[in-house]
């Protein structure tokens, strides 16, 4: 059977995997000076809570 193709196929949203997110975090840091650190990667409880407080002050509470 022949697969159908459409010009819209290239505009479909990309499915991101962990490698894509890791590359995004590296580029954000190197190019913009923005640290994108998954909160679960921070093991020191004081540092984790400090970052949560700053993030919630800037962006509001997380939805999940």
Give the pLDDT confidence score for residue 1 in this predicted structure: 62
In a domain, 19, yes or no: no
In a domain, 27, yes or no: no
In a domain, 18, yes or no: no
pLDDT digits (tens, 9 = 90+) for 20-56: 999 999 999 999 999 999 999 999 999 999 999 999 9
In a domain, 43, yes or no: yes
In a domain, 64, yes or no: yes
57: containing domain = 35-64
Give the pLDDT confidence score for residue 11 in this predicted structure: 75
pTM: 0.65
Confidence of residue 17 (pLDDT cuts 50, 70, 90): very high
pLDDT digits (tens, 9 = 90+) for 5-15: 677 767 778 89
Report which of 60, 59, 39 is spatially closest to residue 50, judged by C-alpha positions: 39
In a domain, 51, yes or no: yes
Measuring CA to CA, how many Å separate 62 from each of 6, 32, 54? 38, 23, 12
- The number of distinct structural domains making up the chain is 1
In a domain, 7, yes or no: no
Residues 6+ away with beta carbon under 8 Å from 25: 35, 36, 37
In a domain, 46, yes or no: yes
């Amino acid at each position: 059977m022949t697969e159908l193709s459409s010009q819209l196929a290239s505009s479909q949203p990309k499915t991101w995997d962990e490698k894509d997110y890791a590359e995004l975090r590296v580029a954000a840091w190197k190019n913009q000076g923005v640290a994108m650190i998954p909160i679960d990667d921070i093991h020191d409880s004081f540092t984790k809570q400090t970052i949560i407080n700053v993030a919630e002050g800037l962006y509001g509470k997380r939805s999940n």
